[in-house]
Amino acid sequence: MTSPAAGHINPVIVVAVVLSAILEVLDSTIVNVALPHIQAAFGATTDQATWILTSYIVSAVVIMPLTGFVARRVGRRRLILTAVTGFATMSVMCGLSWSLETIVAFRLAQGMFGAFLIPLSQSILFDAYPREKRGQAMAVFGLGVVVAPVLGPTVGAILTEYFSWRMVFFVNLPVAAMALLLLAGELPDDETEEVRIDWKGLALLAIGIGCLQFVLDQGETKDWLSSRVIQVALIASVLGAFGFIIHVLTTEKPVVDLRFFADRNFALCNLVIAGFAISLFGGIAILPTFVQNLLDYPVITSGHLFIPRGVAAGLSMVLTGAVLVTRFDPRVLAGLGMLLTAVSNFMMGALNMDAGFWELAWPGAVSGLGMGLVFVPMSILAFESISKSRQDEASGLFNVTRQLGSSVGISLVGTWVVRGLQTNTAVLSQNVTPYNPAAQAYLAPLNLTPDSAQGAAILGQEIAQQAELISYLTVFNNLGLLALATIPLLFFCKAPKPGTQASVPAH
């Protein structure tokens, strides 16, 4: 696909590829809210139900690095049309699923098709904009891929509450149909290459990344290294990754070229985006359970909490891509975004049991502002030295890093909350005795004493609640510290050359 003539942008292609990207990123979060309903419908345990999420993520993260290879072999146009069609078909099959096994299988296939959508959409959108307006391309792309997953829980809550869990899959159909119609009519054909299939590299990559993703998703529920399954998967992941690295370094044309990481900016930006994904998506992952299970907010209200974050992210994305990146050092902008991400987590870490809606929503809005300031400048820095012919491949790697960072974040916060709950419960229980003046004063208005059966039960309930609250607040504060720790890495990146701030793709 050739670059457009100067000043000419095809708005139809822009809309089509953003819709394609939204399909994948929206589906990555919209299903989470419906998971308890799907679990109940199929009579599954919590551990079994998580495979609905795990199967999708594992297949997507394995296939995503292959985007550049497959696009060269079959062409961007054919690949994205196939990916959108396959994704929509599997969405229908997920909605029609009749058992846990079938929905897990369909989600696995859905993830395989969805893996191509983000990298391809980004590369096509990059080519759709003339060089001097590619900062706007990043804003448009980011508007879709950042705001959609943030609003996913809200959409999922509404569909599940008022319709059925099956609607979270069927809602993909009109979006996919519109994207297909526009892409088929406007996206030009592109040249293909005869590319040798690196089967050995493909197998090692699948083992390394797939097993790692499995460990991250299932580690907490299976008690990490206490589980033989996790032990085997972790060993397989390490061996697969080691074998893949050796293979890449000794093969002329590997399926995925890790030599991109020899570029200082690309390597550092991958580290930063991983830290950002952990800090951002780790907090997003525990927010629904925090407000529903601990603060007793209804599902629909917890979904509404994501709206201020999404609105702020959209505004920040547009402002950063259209105005700020052309006037300020992207390293400074990204650093400011990471700072806002940290502040957002610290605001959450200062809450208590009486937190109202806006006390919960404002940190989300601050986080949303930070999202735009991070995503757009990070793309400028990461792709500063990557040639145009290798954008598909580099984009696939960058998105895998983001996805793995998100998975690490979700896995970490789950472990921190559970382990923190155990530790905090033990500490609080030691301090609350029948002779503790605070415990006696707490029960006095109820005419109860700590050594009575009813009084002990009330204290036990309060201890459990406070232990859980402390666990969540500690997690939010840890995520804030992680965001701060990544900021210095930005200033080891090379500053973009004058006039190139708008000349690189979004991620």
Among 254, 288, 320, the domain boundary falls at 254
Q: Is residue 467 part of a domain?
A: no
Per DSSP, the residues of 38-89 read HHHHHT--HHHHTHHHHHHHHHHHHHGGGHHHHHHHH-HHHHHHHHHHHHHH
Query: Using CA atoms, how far apart are residues 46 and 418, in angstroms rounded to an integer?
Result: 15
CATH code of the domain containing 46? 1.20.1250.20
Query: Using CA atoms, how far apart are residues 292 and 418, in angstroms rounded to an integer?
Result: 16
For residue 197, give the 3-state DSSP assignment. Answer: coil
Q: Is residue 502 part of a domain?
A: no
Higher-confidence residue: 9 or 435? Answer: 435
- Sequence-distant (6+) residues with CB within 8 A of 416 are 471, 474, 475, 478
Q: Is residue 355 part of a domain?
A: no
pTM: 0.81
Q: Are both 66 and 176 inside the same structural domain?
A: yes
**Can you give the pLDDT at residue 132?**
60
For residue 495, give the 3-state DSSP assignment. Answer: coil
**Can you give the pLDDT at residue 505?**
42
Q: Is residue 178 part of a domain?
A: yes
Exposure string over 422-450, b if 16+ CB within 10 A, otherwise e: eebbeebeeebeeeeeebbebbeeeebeb
Q: Are both 183 and 204 inside the same structural domain?
A: no
Q: Per the structure, how many domains does the chain have?
A: 2
Among 175, 197, 219, the domain boundary falls at 197
Q: Are both 241 and 162 inside the same structural domain?
A: no
CB hemisphere CA count around 106 (13 angstroms)? 18
Q: Are both 170 and 205 inside the same structural domain?
A: no
Model confidence pLDDT, tens digit, residues 18-65: 888 888 888 777 787 777 788 888 888 766 777 787 788 878 888 888
DSSP 256: S
Q: Is residue 237 part of a domain?
A: yes
In order of 373, 412, 436, the CA distances from 466 in angstroms are 35, 21, 17
The one-letter amino acid at 99: S
Q: Are both 177 and 50 inside the same structural domain?
A: yes
H-type alpha helices, 305-434: 306-322, 330-348, 357-382, 391-431
Q: Is residue 323 part of a domain?
A: no
**Can you give the pLDDT at residue 438?**
79
Q: Are both 205 and 91 inside the same structural domain?
A: no
Q: Are both 116 and 243 inside the same structural domain?
A: no
179 pLDDT higher than 80: yes
Q: Is residue 357 part of a domain?
A: no
Among 222, 254, 286, the domain boundary falls at 254
Q: For 117-132, what is the mean pLDDT?
A: 76
For 9, the domain range is 1-197
Q: Check if the beta carbon of residue 493 is closer than 8 Å to that of residue 268.
A: yes
Q: Are both 134 and 212 inside the same structural domain?
A: no
Q: Check if the beta carbon of residue 398 is closer than 8 Å to that of residue 378.
A: no
Q: For 453-466, what is the mean pLDDT?
A: 84
129 pLDDT higher than 60: yes
Q: Are both 214 and 141 inside the same structural domain?
A: no
Query: Using CA atoms, how far apart are residues 407 and 410, in angstroms rounded to an integer?
Result: 5
Exposure string over 139-176, b if 16+ CB within 10 A, otherwise e: bbbbbbbbbbbbbbbbbbbbbbeeeebbbbbbbbeebb
136 pLDDT higher than 80: no
- Sign, CA dihedral 274-276-279-284, equals negative
Q: Is residue 307 part of a domain?
A: no
CA-based radius of gyration for the chain: 24
**Can you give the pLDDT at residue 9?**
63
Q: Are both 102 and 202 inside the same structural domain?
A: no
Q: Are both 149 and 14 inside the same structural domain?
A: yes
Q: Are both 138 and 230 inside the same structural domain?
A: no
